[in-house]
Structure 1
Amino acid sequence: MSLEILDTRRKALTLNLDEQVYGTFAEIGAGQEVARNFFTAGAASGTVAKTMSAYDMTFSNEIYGIEESGRYVSRSRLLKMLDYEYQLLEERLNSEKYKNRTFFAFANTVTTINYNKTNDPHGWLGIKFQLEPKGEENLIIFHVRLLDTDVSLQQNVLGVLGVNLVYAAFYLNHNPRQMVESLTDNLSKGSVEIDLIRVSGKVFEGLDDISVNLFLIQKGFSPAAFFEPDGIARQAKDHMYKKHIMILRTRFKQKNLPDLGLFEHAVQQYKEKKAIENDALITVVELTLNNLMSRAQEEDNDFLNNIAGRTREILAMGYPVIITNFNRHHKLAKYLSMAKPLSVGITTSINNLKYIFHSENYTSGYTDELLAYISDLFSRNVKLLAYPYQDPKTKEIITSKTMPVSDEAKHLYDFLIQNGYIIDVEDVSFPE
């Protein structure tokens, strides 16, 4: 049975009428849309201790400090805002009047679409909160990409997201999956993408970044989630920005862990052919779920736990992992293009190439679909590195150059081989 989704005004009013919840709203970059929702809902004095918006950079720096990176729409800036505002609440509201209050500090730092529509609208939102008077701090932060092409629509989205976050923090924290799902309540599909979320504090004890970010992929809020070897969720764009990238594609359904020795062999070949220095190359293992997340229904925790377990196994090998729902190479390449990589190498198998370049694997319109696929993939400075295959019966070694392809695809395939878009991984040994 699905739960009732409260509209934005009702959520804000519920919080305003809660005699315990009390806090601060600090918003930079897109108006004070979250605070506005609480004021227009009525009874805002019950919840709002202070609202502010330090738009001018000099004012902002005086309050929250200078960002050495120069990036003010960042996780670092958000955390400084939350820490400052929460500490101020505890320092100033410590009299008898507030002894039964549970404090929170909400903050966001956002850039909306510019006049010429040439930027990437995105932002960070977060809340630091306690669940009992003088209780321990808990934290929820997340990053969003704003997909509407109108400033007023993006501002409205931010206002709704903020109300959803505050409501979820206080009333849905006992159910992390429901808490995450509720963040887009009352928003139309395609208006926002939530591509990273992090939680901490006693109320979220035992919930790690891998588990909570899997909820985002399951609900379609994000196509991918990126994790460092320590299991911490990061933005893939920041980690890979203007680097050479080498990706090992693996599937969740495959029985064995990936052969990282063979992958490192391919990495070394790629570095030598392109004369890449070690610190300029990022190696990543992709765990593609290939649309399996539709199986992970509300009650299917085992499936999500299995995915999280496989992710931890790969992370323990020392590699960053990106979990995706991409079934084809060109979708992965499109996602990686946001990081403006210098080049991308994707390892693949001969069997995968055979599937792409054999028309019988498609129902109709093969040539049109193949052209679109190839154009979308190789226009993004991508190379496919193909592992050779040994026929178990004949012991014949099949490479990209000897692999049979459909007649319709042969000229295009030969062009890709001759111009180095598809490269064999060389000097691979096979058992006698």
Structure 2
Amino acid sequence: MAITILGDKEFEKVPSIKNKVLRVNLNENIYGTFAEIGAGQETVRHFFRAGGASGTIAKAMSAYDKDFSDAIYGIEDDGRYVTEKRLKKMLTHEMQLIEDRISRYKEPNKIFFTYANTVATIDFAKKYKGHGWVGIKFQITPEGEFNEIILHVRFHENDARLQQLTLGTLGVNLIYGAFYKHDNPKHLLKYLYDHIDKDQIEIDTINFSGPQFEGVDNRLMSLQLVRNGMTEAVMFDPNGNNVLPAAVLYKKNILALRGSFRPVTKVNMDMYEKSLAMFIDANRVNEKKTKVIFEITLSNLRAEGEIDEEDFMARARLLCSLGQTVMISNFKEYYKVVEYFSNYTKERMGLVMGVNNLIDVFDATYYRHLSGGILEAFGKLFFKDLKVYLYPMKNPKTGELTTSENLKVHPRMKELYKFFKYNGKVVDIENYDPSISGIFSREVLRMIHDGEEGWEELLPEGIAEMIKSREQFGYDSVTY
């Protein structure tokens, strides 16, 4: 007998936490376990207090002692407990126990779930605010295949008790969303913040998996996190998987390249290759401990109006195919990017820019919201030995080449620019390919739209074929 869980049109638009819990508890088919480590049993507490918990809760536990936790879930190679790997072990182990201990013959209609979290709340000195992994493994029909929703959170409140309460509310929202919003992951994502302010907790990574979410591209879910103001930046790896920024950036040397990549061109890749060689040589850094980030800002995605998800995915796929790690951020100003990276590493940093980008950096109008204006911004931008690697720009009409030596900034910024330039903070990219310095993404995009020949030669190997096969960026195989 298949049981499909109905939608919630008959419920209020934003049900209270108690009503969400009651709806789960009073569903005679939903049955599962809670395993919470590090912040008490804040989620299951709601289910115990609401009433009807005996029909929902098979077990609630907190293996708070590390030795007990290791005995139950195994010892991690890195000795860490607040990790995605640990969370997945918890979900797998607890679900296996349910299936082993609950007879399908006696309970043919039960829909099993396991909710788990492993978190570290704020420390006593209030130096580290804490973070954690939260997830649910669940069915939507009896004996159906299992689905998973796994997310990473960062706490922003300055009190452990408040963090625990927020975590409990988030847990209820996740469980409720898994059963009653699984058919619309975008909405489910928004509802995770029901009765939670966005300055209380940040969700910076989320992944949906299982048959129910076969059509979900987790990179689009990452984009939603930034669009919804749930986090400032998200990342995905060359395989297209969402990854935790902290894990990617921790104690790494970082070289960041910002652009529209619409589409990625030979110039973009030349900027990347030549600046990386200079970055490694000048800083004598270990290439294996160096991370290159291709960044696309939300404002860039909105440049043509509302964000076009297909356009976003086209850029993402092309960059991933070139083996790059991609970051989507809500940082308009470069100093905010540097501040963000500094949360995870104290190692060397470099920013790769085109001429127009650097001119914008020295535009004081971008910093009017800061009490210290452009000087405050530059203090944050160049607080260490960060360097800007400038890629020369060739004027397609005159053939003139613009470098750091003849770059023109606002007259009032001239002396400030000279200060940073002659103190080695701005360096020209060497050994660049002059034959491609006149390539611009916007011109390539126009050529594709207009059906003009020759644009394929302006892109890295294999990119034109991908654009054609997927009919991206306005390419129309019929027109061509």
Q: Provide TM-score, normalisation by structure 1.
A: 0.93
2:418 maps to which residue?
414
8 Å CA contact retained: 1:291, 1:325: no
8 Å CA contact retained: 1:16, 1:47: yes
2:434 alignment partner, SS class:
coil
Distance 2:357 2:330 in 1: 17
1:61 alignment partner, SS class:
helix
Distance 2:273 2:182 in 1: 42
Q: Which residue of 258, 263, 274 corresponds with 1:265?
A: 274
2:254 alignment partner, SS class:
strand
Say whether 1:49 aligns with 2:58.
yes
1:128 maps to which residue?
137
- 1:389-408 equivalence runs, <5 A: 389-408=393-412
User: By how many angstroms is 1:354 displaced?
Assistant: 1.9
8 Å CA contact retained: 1:226, 1:235: yes
1:330 maps to which residue?
335
2:208 maps to which residue?
199
8 Å CA contact retained: 2:152, 2:205: yes
1:13 maps to which residue?
22
Deviations 1:24-64 (A, max 9, x none): 00000001000001111111112111100010001111011
User: By how many angstroms is 1:93 displaced?
Assistant: 0.7
Question: Which letter does structure 2 place at the counterpart of 1:403?
Answer: L
User: By how many angstroms is 1:356 displaced?
Assistant: 2.8
User: By how many angstroms is 1:396 displaced?
Assistant: 2.6
Distance 1:367 1:424 in 2: 31
2:92 maps to which residue?
83
Q: Provide TM-score, normalisation by structure 2.
A: 0.84
Distance 1:291 1:391 in 2: 23
Judged with a 3 Å threshold, the aligned counterparts in structure 2 of structure 1 residues 42 and 355 are, in CA distance, closer, same or farther, namely: same
Say whether 1:234 aligns with 2:239.
no
2:322 maps to which residue?
317
Distance 1:406 1:296 in 2: 29
The total of aligned residue pairs comes to 426
User: By how many angstroms is 1:366 displaced?
Assistant: 9.6
Deviations 1:236-261 (A, max 9, x none): 21122111111111126x45546213
CA RMSD of aligned residues (A): 2.4
Judged with a 3 Å threshold, the aligned counterparts in structure 2 of structure 1 residues 230 and 363 are, in CA distance, closer, same or farther, namely: closer
8 Å CA contact retained: 1:86, 1:104: yes
Say whether 1:161 aligns with 2:152.
no
Structure 1 stretches of 4+ with a deviation exceeding 6 A read 294-297, 363-367
Distance 1:335 1:341 in 2: 11
User: By how many angstroms is 1:286 displaced?
Assistant: 1.2
Deviations 1:180-229 (A, max 9, x none): 11111110230010000011111001212212212211211111111110
Question: Which letter does structure 1 place at the counterpart of 2:109?
Answer: N
2:192 alignment partner, SS class:
helix
Q: Which residue of 75, 82, 91 corresponds with 1:73?
A: 82
Q: Which residue of 345, 351, 364 corresponds with 1:346?
A: 351
| Unaligned residue ranges in structure 2 (runs of 5+) | 1-8, 439-480
2:434 maps to which residue?
430
- 1:347-386 equivalence runs, <5 A: 347-359=352-364, 368-386=372-390
Judged with a 3 Å threshold, the aligned counterparts in structure 2 of structure 1 residues 390 and 366 are, in CA distance, closer, same or farther, namely: farther
Say whether 1:305 aligns with 2:310.
yes
8 Å CA contact retained: 1:285, 1:321: yes
Deviations 1:344-372 (A, max 9, x none): 1110111222223245x569689942112
Distance 1:66 1:168 in 2: 32
Q: Which residue of 286, 289, 292 corresponds with 1:277?
A: 286
Deviations 1:384-427 (A, max 9, x none): 11111223344332211222233432332222112221111123
Question: Which letter does structure 2 place at the counterpart of 1:347?
Answer: V
2:60 alignment partner, SS class:
strand
Distance 1:266 1:21 in 2: 55
User: By how many angstroms is 1:380 displaced?
Assistant: 4.8
8 Å CA contact retained: 1:334, 1:380: no
Say whether 1:189 aligns with 2:194.
no
1:99 maps to which residue?
108
Q: Percent identity?
A: 40
8 Å CA contact retained: 1:218, 1:293: no
Question: Which letter does structure 2 place at the counterpart of 1:342?
Answer: E
Distance 1:256 1:26 in 2: 45
Judged with a 3 Å threshold, the aligned counterparts in structure 2 of structure 1 residues 367 and 425 are, in CA distance, closer, same or farther, namely: farther
8 Å CA contact retained: 1:337, 1:380: no
2:209 alignment partner, SS class:
strand
8 Å CA contact retained: 2:355, 2:402: yes
8 Å CA contact retained: 1:417, 1:423: yes
Distance 2:358 2:198 in 1: 34
2:147 maps to which residue?
138
Judged with a 3 Å threshold, the aligned counterparts in structure 2 of structure 1 residues 354 and 199 are, in CA distance, closer, same or farther, namely: same
1:59 alignment partner, SS class:
helix
Say whether 1:209 aligns with 2:218.
yes
2:206 alignment partner, SS class:
strand
